[in-house]
Amino acid sequence: MPNVAPTRGSQTASATIPFIWRFLLLNVEPLFALGGAALLLLNPGHYTSNMTRQAVTSIQTGSDFIYTELLGGWLHFAFTEAVVLRLVDDARVWRLLCAGMLLSDAAYCHSCAQAIGGWSVWAQVGGWSSEEWVVTLTTWPFVVARLAVVCGIWGRVKVD
C-alpha cells in the first residue's frame, strides 16, 4: 500500500508531529496492544487478576465474550497505529484518529481505577502493586502522546 499524502492545504504528520510521538504511536504501542490482546486470548483470568489486585481470580463461565470484545479493541488500536497512521501522512487525520482513541483511553483509565476500588484508592500511589505500575507505565505515555497530537502541544505540532 502506498503512503496516502495529505490533501492540498493540509500538513504532513511526518513534518509536524515530533518524532518521539510518532515513534511511540507507530512502533511501541502497537506491540503493547498486541501483547495485551494475546494475554486476553490465552489467559484472561491472569489479566483480570492483575487488574483487580487479585480480588477477581477466575472468570465466570459465560463471560469470555467480554474479554474477546476488549481483545478486539486492542487489535483495532494496533492496526490503526501500525498500519493506518503509518500509511496516512496527514496531520489532520492523525489528530482525528488520536481524538477518537482518547475516548477509549478515558474509558480504559476509568476501568483501571474501578478495578481496584475507585479513584480514591487509585490516587494512593504509595499503595500501588507492581501490576498497577506496569499498567500505568504502559498506558500513560501513549495517552500523553495522543493528547499532544490532538492539542498541538509539546513540539512542532501545527494543525489547521
For residue range 23-52, list pLDDT tens digits in order: 999 999 999 999 999 999 999 999 999 899
For residues 83 and 77, what is the distance between their CA atoms, to the nearest angstrom?
10
The predicted-structure confidence for 88-147, as pLDDT tens digits, reads as follows 999 999 999 999 999 999 999 999 999 999 999 999 999 999 999 999 999 999 999 999
Q: Where are the alpha helices (DSSP H) in the chain?
A: 13-16, 19-23, 29-42, 44-51, 64-79, 85-87, 91-115, 119-122, 130-137, 140-151
Q: In this structure, what C-alpha cell is assigned to residue 68? A: 474477546
Residue 67 gets the label, from left (phi > 0), alpha (psi -120 to 50) or beta, of: alpha
**Percent of the chain at pLDDT above 90?**
74
